[in-house]
A = this chain, B = another copy of it.
């Protein structure tokens, strides 16, 4: 399975162009759109989102990851194997949280280059062909690197910022709920929120936080929109307040 994780925009032609490459090069492999609206031009925020969502995918899944504001510049390209899944994308931090958390990790600098390499669309020209190869059990020309030299372990394990707001107005953060207790509070802007099990656990109109279906701390309002009620947007900082 190949999973697309990008900031290209939902329905953008760039998704279709990458899918066309995959359909030609790996016709038997299913392709799944996971995120096309990852935090725009923000590899660091996107990195925490990717790390939270990749875990439910089976061994052998190939993640084609493109949040790549430096495309055409000096940044390297890389291939990771982490906990039996593959990741291909720019070496700009986008894969850093996956790498930090991996129990088993192989890091490779991608050396293969296509005949046609545009300045602005490595997703189509470089990363998609590589993903197609990986999904079919072939490893393209790449140079293994010591992970110690490539993974930036100075990043925090949790990112207390808002990573994504969905159609319901729910706001996901980069904090894993398993790190929090039942009494943990969340502070965002002027509001302090208690934890609830799910929407129907609180009164209509009430704001709360809960462990979402991917294990992230998410801010919501029962029968309402947390983004509008609390003034939330991608990138906003939240504060996790452990019980006293």
* Chain A interface residues toward B at CB < 8 A: 1, 3, 7-17, 19-20, 23-24, 27, 30, 32-37, 40-41, 53, 56-58, 69-74, 118-121, 124-125, 164, 166-168, 197-201, 210-213, 223
Contact = CB atoms under 8 A, between A and B. Distances in A.
Contacts of A19: 32-33
**Interface majority SS (helix, strand, loop, mixed), chain A:** loop
Contacts of A37: 11, 167
Q: How often does this chain occur in the complex, in copies?
A: 3
Contact of A213 (B11, B23, B124, B167): B124
A30 B33 contact: no
A171 to B, nearest CB: 14
Contacts of A166: 8-9, 12, 14
Contacts of A164: 13
B72 A198 contact: yes
Given A13-B35, A32-B23, A124-B213, A8 B167 contact: yes
B13 A53 contact: yes
Nearest to A9: B167
Closest 6 CB pairs of A and B: A9-B167, A10-B11, A121-B213, A72-B198, A73-B200, A118-B213
Contacts of A223: 41, 69
A57 B11 contact: no
A114 B69 CA distance: 41
B9 A125 contact: no
25 contacts: A8-B166, A8-B167, A9-B167, A9-B168, A11-B11, A11-B36, A16-B33, A16-B35, A17-B34, A17-B56, A19-B32, A20-B56, A20-B57, A24-B58, A37-B167, A41-B168, A70-B200, A71-B198, A71-B199, A72-B197, A72-B198, A118-B212, A118-B213, A119-B197, A124-B213
Contacts of A12: 166-167
A4 to B, nearest CB: 8
